Amino acid sequence: MSRKLIKTFIILSICSFLFLSACTSSDLISMDSPKAIDGELDLTGWDWEKDGILSLDGQWEFYWQALFTPEDFNASYTPPEKELIMLPRAWNKLVIDEGELSGDGYATYRLVIHHPEDEILGIKVPRIFTSYYLWANGELIASAGKVDIDRTQMVPQYLPQVKYITPETDSIELVLQVANFRHRSGGLLESIQLGTASQISEMRMRNLALELFLFGSLFIIGFYHLALFIFRTKDKSTLYFGIYSLLLSTRTLLVGEIFFIHIFPSFNWEIAHKMQTLAYYLGLPLLYLFLDATFPNDIPKKSNSFIQIVASGFALLVLLTPVRVFSQFNPLYQIFSIYGFAYTIYIIVRVCNRKREGSYLIGIGVIFLILFTLNDIIFLSILLADADNHFLRNYITRGNLSSWGLLIFVFTQSLVVAKKFSKSFSNVELLSMQLQQVNVSLEEKVRERTHALETSREELKEAYQAVSRSEKSLKDLAQNVSHDLRTPLSAIKGYVNAILDGVVKEPQQQKKYLKRVTDKVNHLNHMVEELLDLSQLQSRQLKLMFTEVPVKLLVENIKERYSLDMMNEHVQFNVNDPPNWQNTNDAGMSLHVIVDWEKLERIFTNLLTNALKHTSDGDTIQISFDFTNEQRDLIVKVSDTGTGIPKEDLPHIFDRFYKVSKARQTNSSGLGLAIVKEIVDYHGGKVWVESKVDKGSDFFFTLPIYRMKLDSEEIAVSLEL
């Protein structure tokens, strides 16, 4: 047999044991006892020891709207014509004088029991709706509340009692006065039981013991689950289950033997009845709240809300109206409960099919709770209360089984909680083992994590620098657009307004102004393009296409290209090889630089253009190549013999829009040298300038040299370094 089947067998066995315990109080009652006929019950031949306790059911004499005492039934007095009523049942809907009775009123019951033995007997009186006096052989033996024909004087109370009778003759006369003006139903809805004194005492003690056991169990479980909720408020299922358990534990003291009234006999009947009814009315919504908290993905929100609203409405009716009003609506809520329980069973089946955690255990508990609660609903329903000899009375004999159903539910819920705790402990043990294993290699992991953190720190530092560059680039771009583009735009506006305002009227003059506007626009376009390039270079958003080039090929390419470009500029132009250059096939071929050809040409173009702006016809411009010590870097120098740069201008020469005051040409964007600096930095080199006024300027930049051929990945790594 599998382990799962063994667990299921044990759970069902315990639930069955609790179910049988709930039914033991009826074991002493004989189901084949004689019935009263025409107000008389013949117990001749009844063996108490063998046959057990009997219910005084059957036809009792019934006197409607009359309160008779035993003296009224002596030989000298003739009472009015009797009616017969089949007990147990309410007098509601009983037809007398062609009229159907309601629950309000008063009446006298009478039964004569023929009993030849003189053994002391015990009589167990259930709760009677809603006040009574009971005489046995002319002696008042039991009462509850105050019986009166006046609604205002009548006092209701539920008080089941056990009394003892010592028959002095072979017959026992029971006379019972009942009055009710406070409840929907009136009369005897439950059976009066008769047996030997020991049998009745044993039954009462057993009932009290079981009900107090139920109360204590549910009360403790309720507070236990509330404590669980206090320590773990995330799980609201324990809150709802705790409240439900406390409500049902309170109801346990208000039904059956009604032990609460024995402790507090003067307790207000209205309040006690409201407490009992609220425990029933709030049970269904609390059950749905519990299921919704336990299986949040399986309970339809609209159905849950509907049940909460309807149940809250009935609960408010109980709180705001007297018993005689809200008890009229009990049948409606009983029908609503039956539909609610049917839907609950559907939900339980669905969560079990989906194999939710704890669904089978909770499902077993809920099914038992629903079945036992349905027993109570039917027992207390008008279906049995207002009918004679209904066949269901043979199967449903008591109306306080719902507490036992909750006890079974508590048991299964405790198993679910225990399973959760066991799983949590197992997880803790597993985590402890894993922690021990981690501690063994903790030092190594710390070193690994430290190295990873250092690497991450470097990466974050680089990322921060990149973001800083981007932010500075955007800030500079915004400042340049707002300040340095304003002058050419103002000039364009002035030219256009001069034409529009009629200041310049001659076509030839207008054409001249429009040509100036075109020049300014072209200048603006060139400036914007350079600004964008410079911003992208500074933020490293512009990706360069690097290529590995031998130094010798680089020098030859520069010499060939720019010698032709400078021939028409009216200056002397020279390109000088590095000193001690070996003019062989291998010279310079083993030394390489990694460059973006397009951007490198832009460096030379900008430097040469800048030199031309500051030189006159006949001056000299030359490009010279050299190496640093140990040939680590290639040094490129672009020199001219022009006007030179003042000493105070040298620190700012590579700034954006900076222009030397002595420049011969003012139609410059002021961005060329700033772009040169960014491209050189991108290549991993340095740029600087040396100059004297009227003697010319020397611009230097460097490029890193590599002595062996690199693959693309090594090129990328080298540039990053």
Q: What class is the 543-721 domain?
A: alpha beta
Position 527 confidence tier, pLDDT thresholds 50, 70, 90: low
pLDDT at 568: 76
Nearest-5° Cα angle at 502, 501 to 505: 150
**375/397 Cα distance (integer angstroms):** 9
The three state secondary structure string of 131-173 is EEEEEECCEEEEEECECCCCCCCCECCCCCEEEEECCCCCEEE
pLDDT at 124: 94
pLDDT at 104: 93
Position 662 confidence tier, pLDDT thresholds 50, 70, 90: very low
pLDDT at 701: 92
Question: Is pLDDT at 716 greater than 70 in this prediction?
Answer: no
Q: What are the pLDDT digits (tens) for 97-129?
A: 888 999 999 999 999 999 877 788 999 999 999
672-682 and 507-539 helices, crossing angle to 10°: 20
Average confidence (pLDDT) over 681-709: 86
pLDDT at 521: 72
Which of 13-22, 410-419, 463-472, 632-641 shows the lowest per-residue confidence on average (mean pLDDT)?
13-22
Question: Is pLDDT at 603 greater than 60 in this prediction?
Answer: yes
Q: Which residues pair with 90 in a beta bridge?
A: 187
Contact 132/144 with Cβ under 8 angstroms?
yes
Number of neighbouring beta carbons within 10 Å of residue 538:
23
Contact 58/35 with Cβ under 8 angstroms?
yes
pLDDT at 6: 46
pLDDT at 362: 84
Query: Is pLDDT larger for residue 204 or for residue 437?
Result: 204
pLDDT at 715: 44
Q: What percent of the chain has pLDDT over 90?
A: 25
| Architecture of the 3-23+210-424 domain | Up-down Bundle (1.20)
**Domain-by-domain residue ranges, the chain?**
3-23+210-424, 31-191, 447-542, 543-721
Position 308 confidence tier, pLDDT thresholds 50, 70, 90: very high
Contact 344/336 with Cβ under 8 angstroms?
no
Would you say the pTM of this structure is higher than 0.75?
no
Contact 174/188 with Cβ under 8 angstroms?
no
Which of 229-243, 319-333, 454-468, 632-646 shows the lowest per-residue confidence on average (mean pLDDT)?
454-468
pLDDT at 533: 64
User: What are φ and ψ of residue 52, in 5° steps?
Assistant: 80, -165
Which of 243-247, 430-434, 436-440 shows the lowest per-residue confidence on average (mean pLDDT)?
436-440
Number of neighbouring beta carbons within 10 Å of residue 208:
15
Average confidence (pLDDT) over 473-497: 63
Average confidence (pLDDT) over 58-78: 85
Which of 342-346, 500-504, 629-633, 713-717 shows the lowest per-residue confidence on average (mean pLDDT)?
713-717
Average confidence (pLDDT) over 43-71: 90
pLDDT at 111: 94
pLDDT at 376: 81
Q: What are the pLDDT digits (tens) for 149-204?
A: 999 999 999 999 999 998 888 889 999 999 999 998 999 988 999 999 999 999 99
User: What are φ and ψ of residue 263, in 5° steps?
Assistant: -80, -40
Average confidence (pLDDT) over 323-340: 89
pLDDT at 599: 82
Of the candidates 164, 167, 187, the residue with the CA atom closest to the CA atom of residue 114: 167
Contact 114/137 with Cβ under 8 angstroms?
no
pLDDT at 9: 45
Average confidence (pLDDT) over 486-498: 69
- Can you tell me whether residue 226 is helix, strand or coil? helix
User: What are φ and ψ of residue 619, in 5° steps?
Assistant: -70, 170
Position 90 confidence tier, pLDDT thresholds 50, 70, 90: very high
Q: What are the pLDDT digits (tens) for 193-239?
A: 999 999 999 999 998 998 898 899 889 988 988 998 898 888 888 89
**551/625 Cα distance (integer angstroms):** 10
pLDDT at 551: 87
Tokens of 533: 């390039």
**120/111 Cα distance (integer angstroms):** 18
Query: Is pLDDT larger for residue 469 or for residue 1?
Result: 469
Question: Is pLDDT at 720 greater than 50 in this prediction?
Answer: no
Position 651 confidence tier, pLDDT thresholds 50, 70, 90: confident
Average confidence (pLDDT) over 696-708: 87
User: What fold is seen in the domain 447-542?
Assistant: Helix Hairpins (1.10.287)
Instruction: Outline where 505-622 has alpha helix (H).
Output: 507-539, 551-565, 597-613
Q: What percent of the chain has pLDDT over 70?
A: 80
Of the candidates 705, 703, 502, the residue with the CA atom closest to the CA atom of residue 600: 703
Number of neighbouring beta carbons within 10 Å of residue 608:
21
Q: What class is the 31-191 domain?
A: mainly beta
Question: Is pLDDT at 2 greater than 60 in this prediction?
Answer: no
Residue 41 makes CB contacts below 8 A (sequence gap 6+) with 34, 35, 56, 58, 111, 112, 113, 114
Query: Is pLDDT larger for residue 588 or for residue 517?
Result: 517
Average confidence (pLDDT) over 536-557: 78
**Omega prior to 156 cis, within 30 of 0:** no
